Amino acid sequence: MSSVPSAPGRPQPVLSPLPSAAVFLVVTVDPGGEAVARDVLAGLAGWERAVAFPYPDGGLSCVAGVGADAWDRLFGAPRPAALYPFRELTGARHQAVATPGDLLFHIRATRLDLCIALTAEIMKGLRDAATVQDEVHAFAYYESRNLLGFVDGTENPVGSDAVDAALVGDEDPGFRGGSYAVVQKYLHDMDAWERLPAETQEKIIGRTKATNVELDAPGSHKDVNSITAPDGTELRILRAAMPFGRPGHGEFGTYFIAYARDPQVTETMLERMFLGTQTSGPDPLLDYSRAVTGTRFFVPSADFLRSIPRG
């Protein structure tokens, strides 16, 4: 018998604005840990309220996602219509690797301590039932810039456009209010990047560095990531990428996360980035930024999580 709750609707805080701090936590569920994982997902909203309550201005939120293999183990059928594992892409010069991940926790707040506190509660709940595959502590950097020095997320949809881009609707009514999330951790070669003149950097990105003005730069990062439907409509996703770094270890990067109503939009962008097209090569930014993780999740609605039976 299926253990999928039948209460789709109100979304998790996928549409929350970019915060000052975030934690990205990806884990795999150990064999026999399925019941514990379901309990953690069901209890997540309560932990979030408890941590956030003394700090009403902290903006704490958490989005939880479930990978394709874990979905079958945790809930069985039915499953979200477009949920399948991250597809590894290998081009002539660059590779989008696929890495393990059963559960994603995207935790955001105005303060890193709140993110850490909620992460700690989640890990207490998952103790002896899951293995951490990746944990990244991210932060806002200057004027919404990444560590390469450019403003990030300029083309993000807002308002009803964000809802249309990120949230599943009537096309999959059993999972209305959900979203598909793709995460990748990129490490930047800052030494090589900083040796480039600003004008060269701008041609690679497709925007000016100081003012963020869009440039006419065919084949640039901006150009490669702009895709349209056959009728000319721009296809969009909701990005929530943030910078991270450990200067003492020489590690500087961007944690990319994209929420989409249709995950094929994100996949098409990645194909253009890593494989190129008939008219242009792969994304030139990949010569300076390397993907070291890649995982895909379905983010069920908040109502779905709350209706999971507790063990």
CA dihedral 203, 205, 210, 212 (to 10 degrees): 120
3-state secondary structure of 253: strand
Say which of 39, 102, 113, 152 is annotated catalytic: 152
Distance of alpha carbon 48 from alpha carbon 43, whole angstroms: 9
Q: Is 152 a catalytic residue?
A: yes
- Are 178 and 75 in contact by the 8 Å Cβ rule? The answer is no
What's the helix, strand, coil split of the chain in %, to 5? 30, 25, 45
Query: Per the structure block, which two tokens stand in for 123?
Result: 């890990």
- Residue at 225: amino acid letter: N
Question: For 210, what's the count of Cα atoms within 13 Å in the CB-facing half-sphere?
Answer: 2
Distance of alpha carbon 84 from alpha carbon 61, whole angstroms: 26
3-state secondary structure of 238: strand
3-state secondary structure of 256: strand
Residue 214 DSSP one-character state = B
Query: Which residue numbers are catalytic?
Result: 152
